[in-house]
Amino acid sequence: MSDNQQWHYENFDPTGSAIGYRITRKLDEVQSPFQKIEIFESTDWGNLMLIDGAMMLTTKDNFFYHEMIAHPALLTHPDPRKVVIIGGGDCGTLREVLKHKGVESAVQCDIDEQVTRMAEKYFPELCDSNDDPRATLMWDDGLAYIKNLEPRSVDVIIVDSTDPVGPAEGLFNKAFFADCFKALRDNGVLVQQSESPLMLLDLIKELRGEMGKAGFAEFQTLPFPQPCYPTGWWSVTMARKGGQGFAFRELPVDLATLYYTGTAHAAGQTLPPFVAQALK
């Protein structure tokens, strides 16, 4: 690739839309046993990480996603001490989780060590907390890890996965959610990235259905901007094990965020009418 500026696009078939960036060069590429990871340098978005051609994160805008997959779930739980992250190999979610001082242990279990190695090199700011004594990084099968957890041992499970194809396919169905249900303590919270609320509402509906079949009785889908993902509008879906609803604690005053606020969280709880209608 030359040093000239070029445009690199991700064509996303399920939404019929594409996102692209003006890039200056490819910084790295590795074929792991699981997937191809590419790193590009862009003119305006910092570095980009793509996995099998799909945009995973940019330096510039990853904070939307990482804050919204971590803080709503942790603040919905009254006192989260033990947190498990499935996927999340770039360590950005782990960093947000460890900003909560009450968290005593956070395990990040991604199938692909190469994702973390690339993050350490090209997104070092996301790996700030990897040496935190409360953090455990492992590279293993998340399905098996959750299945083998001691029942009622975890407060919050965060499923920070790629799209529901390839390695992440098994993270979107009843069998996996049933294992999460079992591993969570009685007032536990599960949160899963749940794709575009504009174009993939059927997937969100199906995801909530699978969570329901697994025993979860209450769901909440929160939309938020995420420029680097298809349609630029994304969502997380939370499920609670008990019947306690989705009231949430205030963000501690010393916990700095770029996007998350209690107001944004509360507002997300009132879905846009077309989304609410579709999820009925």
Q: Which one among 15, 59, 173, 244 touches a second copy, defined by CB under 8 A?
A: 15
Q: Considering beta carbons, is residue 65 or 216 the nearer one to a second copy?
A: 65
d(CA 230, CA 247): 30
Segment 227-256, which members bind a second copy (CB under 8 A)?
Answer: 227, 231-233, 256
Question: Count of H helices and E strands in the chain?
Answer: 8, 12
Question: Catalytic residue among 160, 179, 202, 254, which?
Answer: 160
Per CB under 8 A, does 199 bind a second copy? yes
Using rule CB under 8 A, residue 9 touches a second copy = yes
User: 264 phi and psi, to 5 degrees?
Assistant: -65, -40
179 is catalytic: no
Binding mask 27-66 for a second copy (x = CB under 8 A): ---------------xxxx--------------xx-x---
Q: Write the binding mask 148 to 167 for a second copy: x where contact by CB under 8 A, - elsewhere.
A: --------------------
Scanning 6-14, 105-113, 159-167, 203-211 for contacts with a second copy by CB under 8 A, the matching segment is 6-14
State how far the alpha carbon of 24 is from the alpha carbons of 46, 67, 230, in Å: 10, 28, 22
CA distance linking residue 193 with residue 159, whole number of Å? 7
Query: What distance in Å separates the CA atoms of residue 12 and residue 260, rounded to the nearest whole number?
Result: 27
Using the rule CB under 8 A, is 89 a contact of a second copy? no
Calpha distance 95→158 (Å, rounded): 13
CB 24 to a second copy: min, Å: 10
**Beta carbons of 154 and 211 less than 8 angstroms apart:** no
If you ran DSSP here, which 8-state letter would residue 185 be given?
A: E
Summarize the annotated binding site for spermidine as residue ranges: 66, 90, 160-163
HSE (side-chain half, CA atoms, 13 Å) at 115 = 27
Give the separation between CA 234 and CA 152, rounded to whole angstroms: 30
| Binding region for S-methyl-5'-thioadenosine | 35, 110, 141-142, 167
Give the footprint of a second copy on this chain (CB under 8 A).
7, 9, 11, 13, 15-22, 42-45, 60-61, 63, 198-199, 223, 225-227, 231-233, 256-261, 263-264, 266-267, 270, 272-274
Q: Which residues are catalytic?
A: 160
